[in-house]
Amino acid sequence: MRNPSWNKPSLGVALYAFAILAYAQDGKPAIPATPVASASAAGADALLDALTCRISYDRYPGLMEEIRNERLEDFRQTYRQYSSPMMDVYHLQDPVQAWGNESDTIVIGPNRVMVAVKGSLDSVTAQLEHALEQSSQSPLSGALDDKHALVIFEAEQAGLEGMVLLGCEYRIPDISLLDDPADAWRKKPAGDRQPPPQTRTTPTNP
């Protein structure tokens, strides 16, 4: 499975993006980028911001709550559909467009927000390249840096056959988008955990 991951300091130069695409699809690591600040605050569409790498470090911990508050009908489920790797799939009432592609299927991983697009990797990549080319005149507002990377790869899970996953990977440690904030109290630091109770048995004479 090809799983390109792109890093670059600006989306304004389309030819540079094409070079990274070819480099990543050959199975080699993406070209490292100089960190660029992600100028992003809570906006009108958290899902679209997440797909296009416009979620800042400060906004990231509350991302799923923000998305659910904005899309109550689309993001109601609380169960896992896939366990290897862990992913949740949501079907939107209205499709969204990101990176030049449109779909009503959203896939959330521990650190990824992706749109599932019907078609081949080549066709979805072509649409992506076209969007990046257009951005040379009107740059996309997302910035890829050391904490944000564009990912695109073929889905292999049952139910996602014939689809390509495209979106953003957030390289922010210790926070999973699949964790429910309501369960945070269960995750106590190791030092705060109480040892299991010990039981004593009274010896009996034979």
Indicate the range of 83-97, 106-120, 184-198 predicted with least confidence. Answer: 184-198
Strands 101-108 and 86-98: antiparallel
Mean predicted confidence (pLDDT) in 64-75: 93
Residue 79 CA: distances (Å) to CA of 33, 40, 54, 180? 36, 29, 26, 10
Contacts of 61 (CB under 8 A, 6+ apart): 175
Place of tokens 């926070």: 175
Count of residues in the chain = 206
Least confident window among 97-101, 122-126, 169-173, 185-189:
185-189
Rounded to the nearest integer, the mean pLDDT of the chain is 74
Q: What is the radius of gyration, based on Cα positions, of the chain?
A: 21
Give pLDDT tens digits for 83-100. 888 999 999 999 999 999
* C-alpha distance from residue 138 to each of 8, 10, 14, 49 (Å): 17, 12, 11, 17
pLDDT attached to residue 193? 46
Coil, strand or helix: which one is 139?
coil
The pLDDT-based confidence of 38 (bands split at 50, 70, 90) is very low
Q: How many CB atoms lie within 10 A of CB 25?
A: 16
What is the rounded CA–CA span in Å between residue 54 and residue 46?
A: 9
Partner residues linked to 98 by β-bridges: 101
- What are the tens digits of pLDDT across the range 21-30? 433 444 333 3
Give 161's pLDDT tier (boundaries 50, 70, 90): very high
What's the pLDDT at 76?
82
Q: Return the pLDDT at 24.
A: 41
pTM for the model stands at: 0.70
Q: Return the domain boundaries, the chain.
A: 5-181
Residue of 12, 15, 11 whose CA lies nearest to 168: 11
* pLDDT exceeds 90 at position 114: yes
- The more confidently predicted of residues 15 and 149 is 149
**CA dihedral defined by 104, 42, 128, 77, rounded to 10 degrees?**
-30
130 phi/psi in degrees, rounded to 5: -65, -40
CA end-to-end distance (rounded Å), the chain: 66
